[in-house]
Amino acid sequence: MGILNGKTAVVTGSTSGIGLACARAFAGAGANVVINGMGVPADIETARAAIKRDFAVEAIYSPADMTKPSEIAALIALGEASFGSVDILVNNAGIQHVSPIEDFTAEKWDAVIAINLSAAFHAIRAVVPGMKKRGWGRIINTASAHSMVASPFKSAYVAAKHGIAGLTKTVALELARSKITCNCISPGYVWTPLVEKQIPNTMAARRMRRDEVINDVLLAAQPTKEFVTVEQVASLALFLCSDDAAQMTGANLSMDGGWTAA
Protein backbone atom coordinates (compact mmCIF):
# COMPACT_ATOMS: atom_id res chain seq x y z
CA MET A 1 0.00 0.00 0.00
CA GLY A 2 1.63 3.23 -1.16
CA ILE A 3 1.28 6.51 0.71
CA LEU A 4 -0.67 7.99 -2.21
CA ASN A 5 -3.12 5.14 -2.82
CA GLY A 6 -6.49 6.56 -3.86
CA LYS A 7 -5.02 9.96 -4.64
CA THR A 8 -4.73 11.67 -8.02
CA ALA A 9 -1.83 13.84 -9.16
CA VAL A 10 -1.75 16.28 -12.05
CA VAL A 11 1.77 17.15 -13.13
CA THR A 12 2.11 19.85 -15.79
CA GLY A 13 5.01 19.49 -18.19
CA SER A 14 5.50 15.80 -17.43
CA THR A 15 6.35 14.41 -20.84
CA SER A 16 10.04 14.66 -19.94
CA GLY A 17 12.57 15.72 -17.32
CA ILE A 18 11.58 16.62 -13.77
CA GLY A 19 7.83 16.39 -14.43
CA LEU A 20 8.00 12.85 -15.78
CA ALA A 21 10.15 11.80 -12.81
CA CYS A 22 7.56 13.31 -10.42
CA ALA A 23 4.70 11.54 -12.18
CA ARG A 24 6.58 8.23 -11.93
CA ALA A 25 7.42 8.81 -8.25
CA PHE A 26 3.78 9.54 -7.40
CA ALA A 27 2.61 6.52 -9.39
CA GLY A 28 5.17 4.42 -7.52
CA ALA A 29 3.48 5.54 -4.30
CA GLY A 30 0.08 4.47 -5.64
CA ALA A 31 -1.39 7.66 -7.13
CA ASN A 32 -3.25 7.82 -10.41
CA VAL A 33 -1.60 10.45 -12.58
CA VAL A 34 -2.47 12.89 -15.32
CA ILE A 35 0.57 13.68 -17.40
CA ASN A 36 0.77 16.71 -19.66
CA GLY A 37 3.16 18.42 -22.01
CA MET A 38 4.43 18.67 -25.55
CA GLY A 39 6.39 16.17 -27.59
CA VAL A 40 6.21 13.39 -30.13
CA PRO A 41 2.84 11.59 -29.65
CA ALA A 42 4.40 8.11 -29.81
CA ASP A 43 7.00 9.02 -27.16
CA ILE A 44 4.31 10.46 -24.89
CA GLU A 45 2.20 7.33 -25.28
CA THR A 46 5.24 5.19 -24.44
CA ALA A 47 5.83 7.21 -21.26
CA ARG A 48 2.14 7.05 -20.27
CA ALA A 49 1.87 3.31 -20.88
CA ALA A 50 5.08 2.68 -18.94
CA ILE A 51 3.69 4.44 -15.86
CA LYS A 52 0.51 2.35 -15.99
CA ARG A 53 2.44 -0.88 -16.53
CA ASP A 54 5.30 -0.28 -14.08
CA PHE A 55 3.16 0.84 -11.14
CA ALA A 56 -0.30 -0.70 -11.78
CA VAL A 57 -2.07 2.67 -11.54
CA GLU A 58 -4.13 4.66 -14.01
CA ALA A 59 -2.23 7.17 -16.13
CA ILE A 60 -3.85 9.48 -18.64
CA TYR A 61 -2.45 12.22 -20.86
CA SER A 62 -3.72 15.73 -21.48
CA PRO A 63 -2.26 17.87 -24.28
CA ALA A 64 -3.34 21.10 -22.52
CA ASP A 65 -1.23 24.05 -23.61
CA MET A 66 0.02 25.96 -20.56
CA THR A 67 -0.23 29.26 -22.44
CA LYS A 68 -4.03 28.84 -22.61
CA PRO A 69 -6.05 29.42 -19.40
CA SER A 70 -9.11 27.53 -20.70
CA GLU A 71 -7.00 24.44 -21.47
CA ILE A 72 -5.40 24.60 -18.00
CA ALA A 73 -8.86 24.63 -16.40
CA ALA A 74 -9.82 21.71 -18.64
CA LEU A 75 -6.72 19.79 -17.48
CA ILE A 76 -7.84 19.99 -13.84
CA ALA A 77 -11.42 19.15 -14.85
CA LEU A 78 -10.14 16.09 -16.74
CA GLY A 79 -8.38 14.80 -13.62
CA GLU A 80 -11.49 15.35 -11.48
CA ALA A 81 -13.82 13.75 -14.04
CA SER A 82 -11.56 10.76 -14.63
CA PHE A 83 -10.59 9.94 -11.05
CA GLY A 84 -13.03 11.87 -8.81
CA SER A 85 -10.44 14.30 -7.42
CA VAL A 86 -7.19 16.09 -7.99
CA ASP A 87 -5.32 15.89 -4.69
CA ILE A 88 -1.81 16.82 -5.84
CA LEU A 89 -0.89 19.48 -8.35
CA VAL A 90 2.65 20.01 -9.55
CA ASN A 91 3.09 23.17 -11.56
CA ASN A 92 6.20 22.17 -13.43
CA ALA A 93 5.88 23.06 -17.13
CA GLY A 94 8.59 25.46 -18.12
CA ILE A 95 10.61 26.83 -20.96
CA GLN A 96 13.80 28.85 -21.07
CA HIS A 97 14.97 31.59 -23.40
CA VAL A 98 18.45 33.07 -23.25
CA SER A 99 19.13 36.47 -24.79
CA PRO A 100 20.55 39.88 -23.93
CA ILE A 101 17.70 42.10 -22.71
CA GLU A 102 17.83 44.43 -25.71
CA ASP A 103 17.33 41.50 -28.11
CA PHE A 104 14.80 39.64 -25.94
CA THR A 105 11.61 39.65 -28.03
CA ALA A 106 8.24 40.52 -26.50
CA GLU A 107 6.86 37.19 -27.79
CA LYS A 108 9.53 35.20 -25.93
CA TRP A 109 8.98 37.23 -22.77
CA ASP A 110 5.21 36.58 -22.93
CA ALA A 111 5.70 32.84 -23.56
CA VAL A 112 8.14 32.36 -20.66
CA ILE A 113 5.92 34.30 -18.24
CA ALA A 114 2.79 32.46 -19.43
CA ILE A 115 4.19 28.93 -19.12
CA ASN A 116 6.51 29.36 -16.11
CA LEU A 117 4.33 31.67 -14.00
CA SER A 118 0.77 32.41 -15.14
CA ALA A 119 -0.02 28.74 -15.82
CA ALA A 120 0.55 27.99 -12.13
CA PHE A 121 -1.96 30.69 -11.16
CA HIS A 122 -4.57 29.29 -13.54
CA ALA A 123 -4.05 25.70 -12.37
CA ILE A 124 -4.09 26.60 -8.67
CA ARG A 125 -7.33 28.59 -8.92
CA ALA A 126 -8.93 25.66 -10.73
CA VAL A 127 -7.75 22.96 -8.31
CA VAL A 128 -8.31 24.66 -4.94
CA PRO A 129 -12.14 24.40 -4.72
CA GLY A 130 -12.00 20.59 -4.94
CA MET A 131 -9.10 20.35 -2.49
CA LYS A 132 -10.96 22.56 -0.01
CA LYS A 133 -14.10 20.45 -0.32
CA ARG A 134 -12.12 17.30 0.49
CA GLY A 135 -9.96 18.98 3.16
CA TRP A 136 -6.59 17.81 1.77
CA GLY A 137 -4.23 18.95 -0.92
CA ARG A 138 -0.63 19.34 -1.96
CA ILE A 139 0.48 22.04 -4.39
CA ILE A 140 4.11 21.94 -5.47
CA ASN A 141 5.61 24.49 -7.81
CA THR A 142 8.87 23.79 -9.60
CA ALA A 143 10.77 27.03 -9.07
CA SER A 144 14.56 27.20 -9.51
CA ALA A 145 17.71 28.56 -7.95
CA HIS A 146 16.71 31.44 -10.24
CA SER A 147 13.83 32.14 -7.82
CA MET A 148 16.51 33.40 -5.41
CA VAL A 149 19.39 34.63 -7.54
CA ALA A 150 19.77 35.89 -11.10
CA SER A 151 21.96 35.13 -14.09
CA PRO A 152 22.53 37.38 -17.07
CA PHE A 153 20.51 36.85 -20.28
CA LYS A 154 17.60 35.11 -18.50
CA SER A 155 15.38 38.09 -17.70
CA ALA A 156 12.00 36.44 -18.28
CA TYR A 157 12.93 33.14 -16.61
CA VAL A 158 14.37 34.83 -13.52
CA ALA A 159 11.33 37.13 -13.28
CA ALA A 160 8.95 34.16 -13.63
CA LYS A 161 10.77 32.05 -11.03
CA HIS A 162 10.93 34.91 -8.51
CA GLY A 163 7.20 35.30 -9.19
CA ILE A 164 6.54 31.61 -8.52
CA ALA A 165 8.28 31.91 -5.14
CA GLY A 166 6.00 34.81 -4.20
CA LEU A 167 2.87 33.05 -5.48
CA THR A 168 3.82 29.98 -3.42
CA LYS A 169 3.98 31.98 -0.18
CA THR A 170 0.69 33.78 -0.84
CA VAL A 171 -1.21 30.58 -1.67
CA ALA A 172 0.30 28.83 1.37
CA LEU A 173 -0.97 31.58 3.68
CA GLU A 174 -4.44 31.60 2.11
CA LEU A 175 -4.81 27.82 2.45
CA ALA A 176 -3.07 27.35 5.79
CA ARG A 177 -6.29 26.42 7.62
CA SER A 178 -7.53 24.09 4.85
CA LYS A 179 -4.99 21.24 5.20
CA ILE A 180 -3.63 22.19 1.81
CA THR A 181 0.09 22.93 1.60
CA CYS A 182 1.84 24.90 -1.11
CA ASN A 183 5.61 24.78 -1.47
CA CYS A 184 8.16 25.28 -4.18
CA ILE A 185 11.25 23.29 -5.03
CA SER A 186 14.23 25.20 -6.33
CA PRO A 187 16.68 22.99 -8.16
CA GLY A 188 20.03 24.12 -9.43
CA TYR A 189 21.04 22.66 -12.78
CA VAL A 190 19.31 19.37 -13.52
CA TRP A 191 20.38 17.56 -16.67
CA THR A 192 17.15 17.62 -18.73
CA PRO A 193 16.12 18.61 -22.28
CA LEU A 194 15.45 22.16 -21.02
CA VAL A 195 19.12 22.57 -20.07
CA GLU A 196 20.41 20.86 -23.19
CA LYS A 197 18.31 23.15 -25.42
CA GLN A 198 19.69 26.37 -23.92
CA ILE A 199 23.32 25.45 -24.57
CA PRO A 200 23.49 26.66 -28.21
CA ASN A 201 22.02 30.08 -27.33
CA THR A 202 24.36 30.44 -24.38
CA MET A 203 27.28 29.47 -26.62
CA ALA A 204 26.25 32.25 -29.01
CA ALA A 205 25.51 34.86 -26.33
CA ARG A 206 28.79 34.24 -24.50
CA ARG A 207 30.92 33.19 -27.51
CA MET A 208 31.91 29.94 -25.76
CA ARG A 209 32.35 26.28 -26.67
CA ARG A 210 29.86 23.63 -25.48
CA ASP A 211 32.18 22.19 -22.80
CA GLU A 212 32.93 25.72 -21.57
CA VAL A 213 29.21 26.45 -21.23
CA ILE A 214 28.66 23.23 -19.25
CA ASN A 215 31.64 23.61 -16.91
CA ASP A 216 32.22 27.37 -16.74
CA VAL A 217 28.62 28.64 -16.96
CA LEU A 218 26.16 25.96 -15.84
CA LEU A 219 28.18 24.16 -13.19
CA ALA A 220 30.22 27.24 -12.31
CA ALA A 221 27.62 28.27 -9.74
CA GLN A 222 27.07 24.75 -8.36
CA PRO A 223 29.76 24.09 -5.71
CA THR A 224 29.32 20.28 -5.89
CA LYS A 225 30.16 20.49 -9.64
CA GLU A 226 27.49 17.88 -10.30
CA PHE A 227 24.07 18.11 -11.92
CA VAL A 228 21.02 17.45 -9.74
CA THR A 229 19.10 14.37 -10.95
CA VAL A 230 15.41 14.32 -11.83
CA GLU A 231 14.92 11.44 -9.36
CA GLN A 232 16.31 13.55 -6.51
CA VAL A 233 13.82 16.34 -7.26
CA ALA A 234 10.97 13.82 -7.54
CA SER A 235 11.86 12.29 -4.16
CA LEU A 236 11.53 15.70 -2.52
CA ALA A 237 8.18 16.26 -4.26
CA LEU A 238 6.98 12.89 -2.98
CA PHE A 239 8.10 13.76 0.55
CA LEU A 240 6.08 16.99 0.35
CA CYS A 241 3.01 14.84 -0.33
CA SER A 242 3.53 12.76 2.81
CA ASP A 243 1.95 13.31 6.24
CA ASP A 244 5.45 14.04 7.59
CA ALA A 245 5.42 17.23 5.48
CA ALA A 246 2.00 18.39 6.65
CA GLN A 247 3.50 21.35 8.52
CA MET A 248 5.71 22.43 5.66
CA THR A 249 3.99 25.16 3.70
CA GLY A 250 5.15 28.33 1.99
CA ALA A 251 8.69 26.95 1.81
CA ASN A 252 11.13 27.46 -1.02
CA LEU A 253 13.29 24.34 -0.87
CA SER A 254 16.72 24.48 -2.48
CA MET A 255 18.27 21.44 -4.14
CA ASP A 256 21.13 23.13 -5.90
CA GLY A 257 24.47 21.60 -4.93
CA GLY A 258 25.14 24.60 -2.68
CA TRP A 259 24.58 27.26 -5.38
CA THR A 260 22.45 29.64 -3.28
CA ALA A 261 24.56 29.10 -0.14
CA ALA A 262 27.41 30.96 -1.77
Ligand X SMILES: NC(=O)c1ccc[n+]([C@@H]2O[C@H](COP(=O)([O-])OP(=O)(O)OC[C@H]3O[C@@H](n4cnc5c(N)ncnc54)[C@H](O)[C@@H]3O)[C@@H](O)[C@H]2O)c1
In the complex, what is the shortest distance from the CB of residue 56 to ligand X, in angstroms, rounded to a whole number? Answer: 24
Q: In this structure, what is the dihedral angle of CA atoms 239, 233, 87, 181, given to the nearest 10 degrees?
A: 60
Instruction: Single out the residue of 74, 77, 195, 248 in contact with ligand X (rule: CB under 6 A).
Output: 195
Query: Which residue lies nearer to ligand X by CB, 66 or 253?
Result: 66
Q: Which of residues 212-241 bind ligand X (CB under 6 A)?
A: none
In the complex, what is the shortest distance from the CB of residue 161 to ligand X, in angstroms, rounded to a whole number? Answer: 7
Query: Can 189 be counted among the known catalytic residues?
Result: no
Phi/psi for 115 (5° steps) reads -80, -40
Distances (CA, A) of 7 to 2, 205, 239: 10, 45, 15
Residues ≥6 apart with Cβ < 8 Å to 109: 155, 156
Query: Which residue lies nearer to ligand X by CB, 116 or 168?
Result: 116
Instruction: Single out the residue of 7, 13, 139, 257 in contact with ligand X (rule: CB under 6 A).
Output: 13
Give yes or no for residue 38 binding ligand X (CB under 6 A). yes
Angle between helices 119-134 and 155-174 (to 10 degrees): 20
Give yes or no for residue 193 binding ligand X (CB under 6 A). yes
In the complex, what is the shortest distance from the CB of residue 39 to ligand X, in angstroms, rounded to a whole number? Answer: 5
Total binding residues toward ligand X, as defined by CB under 6 A: 29
Do β-strands 8-11 and 180-187 pair in parallel, antiparallel, or remain unpaired?
unpaired
CB atoms within 10 A of CB 172: 19
- Alpha-carbon span 161 to 96, nearest angstrom: 11
In the complex, what is the shortest distance from the CB of residue 47 to ligand X, in angstroms, rounded to a whole number? Answer: 10
User: What is the contact surface with ligand X in residues (CB under 6 A)?
Assistant: 13-19, 36-39, 65-67, 92-95, 115-116, 142, 144, 187, 189-190, 192-195
